[in-house]
């Protein structure tokens, strides 16, 4: 309750300020909740995987029954030269992503040095892949395995360069991955990152204490009502794995086809194939996820059917026995403002 009151206090101050500076100061955010039911496994808290040491195999919406997802408020000031973004979040997704007790998801400032150069400093989420913490920014309600096990947070300095002809370059110097507070960086180590992009196609790289991440993504429109996005991601954290990262790394390949069937209804698939190294005999998992987005004003309703099929028996069935697959239904509701 105290965390929620803090966020609401910031929101009230933000709205007051926005009345004076409507063109520059903005307040936005979202609230989401969900219902989940396992269809091929029991619905107790330990049903999603047969590996007791790993816990739930995919992040953020594993609780069966009804549950809160996230409530967040984003405050931003967009000046001609300088500005800031502060995203404050509470709820299950925020606690799992940023750690219990933290209400700050992102907080960074930027300076547009010129038309071609921009600098950014502060704490921000991983830019790789297509998924973000808030359900309002994702088409699918559940998260991919890539999002679950890759880098999550960065804290540092980033420079972006407009190279012309829709080309761009980004360079970053940051704390080690997921070290989001300065007093946690006792080793004196840092991470570096670089990325190039042209339009909707990008290739980026991050290296942090012998841990590295490579990400490629692109998107294209097939027709006015059908588009496809692609993402490939390689993570190698053999020397410095985090507690939530299994094995020594993984390779993930995903396709995101989407079709708009009406003004209020869009259908989408996430087809992810992920290969884990040195984790249950180099286990691989294929996860087709079918999601519909039905909008009613600012409310989006997201029914979703997800099938996880693994090369090893890492899940459990209705009898509690090890199984290679898990099918689950989720109904998400997201309100954006």
44 located within any domain: yes
The separation between CA 64 and the C-alpha centre of its own chain, rounded to angstroms, equals: 21
62 located within any domain: yes
257 located within any domain: yes
pLDDT at residue number 93: 86
β-pairing verdict for 153-164 and 167-174: antiparallel
Distance CA 160, CA 170 (A): 4
Is pLDDT above 60 for 190? yes
pLDDT tens, residue by residue, 200-253: 999 999 998 778 999 999 999 999 999 999 999 999 987 666 666 777 899 999
Q: For residue 194, give the CATH number of its domain.
A: 2.40.160.10
22 located within any domain: no
Please provide the average confidence, as pLDDT, over all residues in the chain. 86
317 located within any domain: yes
Distance CA 100, CA 326 (A): 28
**Per-residue DSSP letter, 29:** E
- Token output for 191: 């991470």
Which residues are CB-contacts of 84 (< 8 A; sequence separation ≥ 6)?
75, 76, 77, 107, 108, 109, 110, 122
293 located within any domain: yes
Give the predicted TM-score (pTM) of the model. 0.87
Distance CA 272, CA 146 (A): 8
Is pLDDT above 70 for 75? yes
Expressed as residue numbers, the domain containing 55 is: 31-68+116-336
Distance CA 90, CA 92 (A): 7
Q: Compute the radius of gyration of the chain from its Cα atoms.
A: 20
pLDDT at residue number 208: 83
267 located within any domain: yes
- Count of structural domains within the chain: 1
Say which range, 155-159, 173-177, 181-185, 209-213, has the weakest mean pLDDT: 181-185
99 located within any domain: no
Residue 175's H or E segment, with its range, is: none
pLDDT tens, residue by residue, 91-110: 988 888 877 778 999 999 99
Say which range, 8-22, 100-114, 158-172, has the weakest mean pLDDT: 8-22
Beta strands in the chain (DSSP E): 25-38, 65-78, 82-90, 104-112, 117-125, 153-164, 167-174, 191-198, 201-208, 211-221, 226-236, 249-260, 265-277, 284-296, 299-310, 315-316, 322-323, 325-336
């Amino acid at each position: 309750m105290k965390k929620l009151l803090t966020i609401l206090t910031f929101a009230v101050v933000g709205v007051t300020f926005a009345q004076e500076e409507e063109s520059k100061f903005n307040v936005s955010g979202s609230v989401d909740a969900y219902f989940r039911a396992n269809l091929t496994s029991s619905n107790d808290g330990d049903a999603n995987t047969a590996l007791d040491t790993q816990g739930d195999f995919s992040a953020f919406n594993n609780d069966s029954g009804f549950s809160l997802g996230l409530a967040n408020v984003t405050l931003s000031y967009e000046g001609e030269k300088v500005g800031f973004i502060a995203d404050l979040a509470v709820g299950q997704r925020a606690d799992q992503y940023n750690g219990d007790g933290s209400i700050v998801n992102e907080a960074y400032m930027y300076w547009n040095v010129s038309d071609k150069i921009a600098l950014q400093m502060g704490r921000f989420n991983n830019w790789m892949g297509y998924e973000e913490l808030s359900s309002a920014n994702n088409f699918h309600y559940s998260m991919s395995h890539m999002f679950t096990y890759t880098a999550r947070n960065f804290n540092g300095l980033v420079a972006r360069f407009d190279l012309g002809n829709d080309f761009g370059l980004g360079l970053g110097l940051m704390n080690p991955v997921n070290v989001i507070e300065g007093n946690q960086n006792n080793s004196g180590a840092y991470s570096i990152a670089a990325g190039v992009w042209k339009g909707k196609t990008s290739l980026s790289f991050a290296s942090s204490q012998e841990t590295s991440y490579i990400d490629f993504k692109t998107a294209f429109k097939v027709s006015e009502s059908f588009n496809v996005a692609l993402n490939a991601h390689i993570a190698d954290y053999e020397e410095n794995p985090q507690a939530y990262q299994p094995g020594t790394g993984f390779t993930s390949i995903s396709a995101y086809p989407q079709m708009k069937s009406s003004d209020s209804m869009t259908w989408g698939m996430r087809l992810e194939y992920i290969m884990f190294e040195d984790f249950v005999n180099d286990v691989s998992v294929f996860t087709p996820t079918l999601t519909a987005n039905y909008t009613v004003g600012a409310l989006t309703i997201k029914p979703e059917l997800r099938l996880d099929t693994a090369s090893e028996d890492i899940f459990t069935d209705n009898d509690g026995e090890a199984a290679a697959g898990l099918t689950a239904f989720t109904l998400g509701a997201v309100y954006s403002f």
